[in-house]
Amino acid sequence: MIFEEKLMKLRKMNGLSQEDLANKINVSRQVVSKWELGQSKPNMNNLIQISKLFNINIEMLTNDDFDVDSKYSSEAISELDDSNKENKITFDDEKSENDSTYKNLKEASSEFDKSESNNDEEFNQRKYGNYNNQSNTKKSKSGIVILIILMIVIIALVGRLVITFIDYTKEKKEKQEQQQSVGALNQQNKDSIKELNQEQEENLNTIKNEMEQKESESKKSEEELSHNQETTNNNATESNESFVSEQNTTNNQNTSSNMNNEGNQTTTNNHNSDNNGISEVEIMQFNGFIEMRKGTQDKFFITGLLDEIISSNQKNPNRIVVLEYNETTTSDADEIRNIKYNLASGKYDVILEYDNVGFINKVILRKI
């Protein structure tokens, strides 16, 4: 039987707890527990106290070949104490033998102490090893938790980066599409502007050709008008000469006629005096160019008419021609020029009004 089993058996046979046994030999309960668990061994002093307490030989305690039984109970111990008292002499006689045994036991105790020290160190190593293992286990668990957290954070970051990249790619694609759309619109606008420019050039060329044609027609008309005026002047001169000749003839006839003829001649003379001696030639010369613009005319001819009104008013301040246009009635040259510059393209109606003698005194201009 090994020492641990012997110690436990002796303690229980004597009805002692670990704490009771510890108190009797002046050690802690944990030390007794370690002895019984085989985690450590008692030193020599502890073995002596145990052997005295249970009245058992130290060799029997330490030698695994010996067993303990009921004779080492508390009653047996008491009886042994009495027997030891009676046999004290015998014990003294055997002391010399026990001295040699004690010496051997002392050496064994020394070795046992070394063994106990080694066992304590081993126990401490196991204890701290277990603590270290537990600490390492905790650290390992903590490391695993930290690793899991790091993995979660990394996954979240990667997910965020992926989402950001997707958004960036989408935004870039939208920008490219917008740029393409803007480029297409710009190209369309350029094409439209180019077409408009071409149309404007064509319209300008057309208008230029029309203006040149109208200028040519105007020059031709002016030449015809000048020729007509010369013809009219010649005709008027001939008519005036004929009129003078007829008047002389009439005056001669009136001289030899009766009083009634004299009254008629007087009436005729009064009528001629009402015209203040103005001939039809003068009226035709004043009205000629303006009358040619009577009726429906283009803007080009209307501008010529307005220039003629300004020129006529400057030449003949006693016979002013008034212009009426868009609720404006004026004879001022600057106002007439302003109307001229603001005329819109298109057709116009020209209406003329005359004074009691026959001269044009008002031109009415209306947009069609």
SS3 state of residue 69: coil
Question: Cα dihedral angle (221, 222, 226, 229), rounded to 10 degrees?
Answer: 70
* pLDDT of res. 151: 92
Report percent pLDDT > 90 for the chain.
32
* pLDDT of res. 271: 40
**24-36 mean pLDDT:** 93
Rounded Cα gap, residues 71 and 88, in angstroms? 20
Where, residue-wise, is CATH 1.10.260.40 in the chain?
3-139
* pLDDT of res. 99: 56
Per-residue pLDDT tens digits for 159-179: 999 999 999 998 888 888 888
Q: Is pLDDT larger for residue 23 or for residue 88?
A: 23
Per-residue pLDDT tens digits for 227-277: 766 665 565 455 445 544 554 555 445 444 444 444 444 334 444 434 556
> Is the domain covering 3-139 a CATH 3.40.920.10 domain?
no
* pLDDT of res. 278: 79
Single-letter residue type at 247: Q
CA proximity to 102, closest of 47, 141, 147, 154: 47
Rounded Cα gap, residues 112 and 108, in angstroms? 6
Rounded Cα gap, residues 359 and 342, in angstroms? 28
Rounded Cα gap, residues 212 and 181, in angstroms? 45
**7-23 mean pLDDT:** 92
Six-digit token pair at 297? 């005319």
Phi/psi of residue 353, nearest 5 degrees: -125, 145
Single-letter residue type at 272: N
Residue 41, burial from CB neighbour count under 10 angstroms (0-12, 13-18, 19+): buried
Residue 189, burial from CB neighbour count under 10 angstroms (0-12, 13-18, 19+): exposed
Rounded Cα gap, residues 60 and 37, in angstroms? 19
Most confident of 56-70, 119-133, 225-239: 56-70
Q: Is pLDDT larger for residue 218 or for residue 170?
A: 170
Per-residue pLDDT tens digits for 326-363: 889 999 999 999 999 999 989 999 999 999 989 999 99
CA proximity to 44, closest of 94, 117, 125, 123: 117
Six-digit token pair at 324? 């009426």
Chain center to CA of 278: 87
How would residue 200 be classed by pLDDT, with cut points 50, 70 and 90? confident
How would residue 130 be classed by pLDDT, with cut points 50, 70 and 90? low
How would residue 21 be classed by pLDDT, with cut points 50, 70 and 90? very high
Q: How far apart are the first and last CA of the chain?
A: 145
**147-155 mean pLDDT:** 93
Q: Are 320 and 313 spatial neighbours (Cβ–Cβ below 8 Å)?
A: yes
Beta-ladder partners of 367: 348
SS3 state of residue 189: helix
**68-84 mean pLDDT:** 49
Q: Which parts of 183-326 are beta strand (E)?
A: 295-298, 322-325
Per-residue pLDDT tens digits for 290-327: 888 889 999 988 999 999 999 999 999 999 999 999 88
Chain center to CA of 86: 114
